[in-house]
Amino acid sequence: MLNVALAQINPVVGDIKGNLEKIVEAVERTQDKAHLIVFPELAISGYSPEDILLRLDFLEECSRAVEELKRRTKDAEAVIVVGTPLYRGDLYNSLVVIYKGEVLGVYSKGRLPNYSVFDELRYFREGEQPLLISINGYKVGFSICEDIWYPDHLERLTVLSGAELIVNINASPFHIGKQEFREGFVRARAQDNICFVLYSNLVGGHEELVFDGRSMVIDPLGRVVARAKAFEEDTLVLSIDLEEVRRRRLLDLRWRNASKEVEPYPLSAEVSLPQKPYIEPRLEHNPKGEEEIYKALVVGTRDYIRKSGFSKAVIGLSGGIDSSLTACIAVDAIGSDNVLGVFMPSRFSSQESFEDAKELADNLGIEFHTVPIDEVYIAYHNELLPVLGEIEFDTADENIQARIRANILFYLSNKLGHVVLATSNKSESATGYTTIYGDMAGGFAPLKDVYKTTVYKLAEYRNSVSKVIPDRVFKKPPSAELRPNQRDQDTLPPYEILDKILKLFIEDNVSPEGIIKLGFDPETVKKVVKMVKGAEYKRKQAPVGIKITPRAFGKDWRMPIINKF
């Protein structure tokens, strides 16, 4: 038996000392239970430091942190695996294996992702050497994140050299469907190699990314035998029977034939550790659907606010579904005492909107204020009369109301030190149906990557936990209430249709012609695509928000503003 611990921590990018303390604390807490303690990818620096990685002083501090970790764990009866940037004439994304104050070996990531939100080829050089060590007579191989996606990468050589266990450390961000995909290929590697796989993942939010944890242990049959908590810091400790690997390999002719064709890779180190008590594995709840998305939004919002140095948030409450859901997320992220809701009615705001906003605030237990904007709007109009004269009410008059509201929220932010949470969703930002410097303005946008139809589903989920959003918010037609009798559907197709078109065009890269062939109305498709392209300049100026789909308006959407295609 070998006892292993997967310590999924929530580091802060650049907080090297703070991250080190988390690592040391986890070692101290688990060293008497585990022979092997594994931390996630770039645990020392946080993921991802981006261009801070191009600073030598930053890399030197990461190196000092590794030396400090060696010093502070020299009495630990456990082997420690930790991810860090490593500068050796060039920069590598590496893991360092430490025991008794010494480095047993270093492995550097070989498959560097350079797509979606990843830019690792900008920073790192590919590693080219496998790493194989022995703990209590059992051979252990190593890989980092993307490496394990490739069945023929370096850890395959360590497996064919006898490794019964592969340690794979990760900073794998969440999006819808990611967990099923992730489990699928890790299970395949365990089955292909007839070995155990330790999959250690980061947890917590960093700007637009949310890391969902769910570190896991997979056995040689491809079964997930242990899983850590989702969206929470956790240390998963269990005993694994590596004799099972040896038994199964004796019965598998494929593995025996493959292994005899490989020159065995040498061990870098051998360690003998005392026996430790048997620990049963645990399988934590694996959230799915709306529960999973909602947890991601809460963690992303909480960590953005706290890691940015804020403690409180202010939200413009309209009585609509978007601001209601945003308020729920904020309360669940940082607590009701730390959220301020402001209702800012104009002459076009309904009494029902006020009642719904007030009821929501009361149900959530947040501070609530009403700040009318009509007199401010009239002052704008009167001051501009000498410039424009009396002209017909149009979109500019609608937008100025949204911008007045944004000014009020940012004034409160400056006065009180609250971060402004924008309430725009992905459907609106995709089509430009949102006011730049108005309702899309904010310090952070929790719903930035959430389609309108998903907003309703998430709101229903939140009400299933505890009913806080008034029923009428779900039933009334969506409206910006910036002119008389306004409805979103006056400008946009029904959201059930719009969101399907948007997903096909944005996430699946289907051409307008391809979308039309799927049965959508040609004029509707052309209108939607034109709106998406025309709103790029707005999205470039939008606040950062949480990525939950495979392709969000952020680092994995890099479209030129000026684009005639």
DSSP E strands in 162-233: the ranges are: 165-170, 196-201, 203-206, 209-212, 216-218, 224-227
**Active-site pick, 22, 62, 139, 145:** 145
User: What Cα–Cα distance (Å) separates residue 453 from each residue in 299, 450, 473, 494?
Assistant: 21, 8, 14, 10
CB 446 within 8 A of CB 326: yes
The three-point CA angle 135-139-141 to 5° equals 110
37: nearest Cα among 47, 51, 23, 49: 23
Backbone angles phi, psi at 199, to 5 degrees: -110, 105
Instruction: Report d(CA 522, CA 519) in Å as an integer.
Output: 9
**Active-site pick, 41, 208, 428, 481:** 41
Four-CA torsion 542, 544, 546, 552, nearest 10 degrees: 60
* Residue found by looking up tokens 């180190």 in the block: 269
* Residue found by looking up tokens 């601001």 in the block: 323
3-state secondary structure (DSSP) of residue 303: helix
Backbone angles phi, psi at 371, to 5 degrees: -130, 95
Please name the amino acid found at residue 61: E
The pair of structure tokens assigned to 301 is 């919002």
410: nearest Cα among 439, 434, 382, 384: 439
**Active-site pick, 22, 33, 62, 109:** 109
CB 554 within 8 A of CB 547: yes
Q: Does 109 participate in catalysis according to the annotation?
A: yes
CB 85 within 8 A of CB 92: yes
Q: Does 145 participate in catalysis according to the annotation?
A: yes
17: nearest Cα among 53, 41, 44: 44
* Residue found by looking up tokens 């009318």 in the block: 372
* Residue found by looking up tokens 């489990």 in the block: 183
CB 424 within 8 A of CB 451: no
CB 426 within 8 A of CB 451: yes
User: Which residues have a Cβ under 8 Å from the Cβ of 73 and sit 6 or more positions away?
Assistant: 24, 27, 31, 80, 98, 101
Sign of CA dihedral 33, 35, 40, 42: positive
- SS3 readout for 190-202: HHHHCCEEEEEEC
Phi-psi region of 64 (alpha: psi -120 to 50; beta: other; left: phi over 0): alpha
Give the number of other Cβ atoms within 10 Å of residue 529's Cβ.
Answer: 17
Instruction: Report d(CA 17, CA 306) in Å as an integer.
Output: 17
Give the DSSP H/E element, type plus range, for residue 486.
none
What are the beta bridge partners of residue 107? 95
Backbone angles phi, psi at 163, to 5 degrees: -60, 125
Which residues are identified as catalytic? 41, 109, 145
